Amino acid sequence: MSIAVKLGVLLVVNIAAVLGMIFREIQTGSTFARALNISWNRIFLNRQPRNSDEGGHGDGWYPVLHRTWWMTLFFILFLWLVRREALFGYVAVMMIGLHGWWYGLARQGETDSSGRILNLDSQWGIIFRQIDENSAFRERSLAELDLRKKNLLVLAIERGEQTVAFPKGLETLAVGDKLVIFGELHSYRTLFETP
């Protein structure tokens, strides 16, 4: 088996493992952008999570993926420089493009308002959600939304410099409000993530 085929197999196995880790993060409650962010930080940068909200499901595999990912990238670039074969150049350009795409989507995971979820178990969690301009919840009161009947409880609203702890039903949501919600994850996804 030629070295190109061996590197191809290693590359495919690495990509499949990364996709598996991203899928696992999504299964545990992360959005796609957030799962990409977690995988970028853990695999590419080898950053350890500071808390359980930063992912880390399948912790034992992240250090292995970190090493094999860098090893694969190093060998592709090394072989391109040493052998001067076009195939390795194309693969190197593809890998750099893949990293650019991955990095761009991972950064969206840091700033999107779609919500971070701290799973307490598979059904319940604490959700951090920002109300954006397209939200159906903007300019509506908590009483009007009646989230308690949907097993969701708004614990706090951060509005600029002010935090409203345990808001009452008369509190009206505005664009830019950051909510801390405790509740059933299925209900949350049904309300907030369906268009």
Give the pLDDT confidence of 150-189 residue by residue, as tens digits.
Answer: 999 999 999 988 889 999 999 999 998 989 999 888 888 8
- Beta strands (DSSP E) in the chain are 116-119, 124-130, 152-159, 162-165, 178-184
CATH T-level fold of 116-192 = Alpha-Beta Plaits (3.30.70)
Domain-wise residue ranges, the chain: 3-111, 116-192
Q: What is the pTM of this model?
A: 0.47
- pLDDT category at 117 given cuts 50, 70, 90 is low
The average pLDDT across 58-69 equals 72
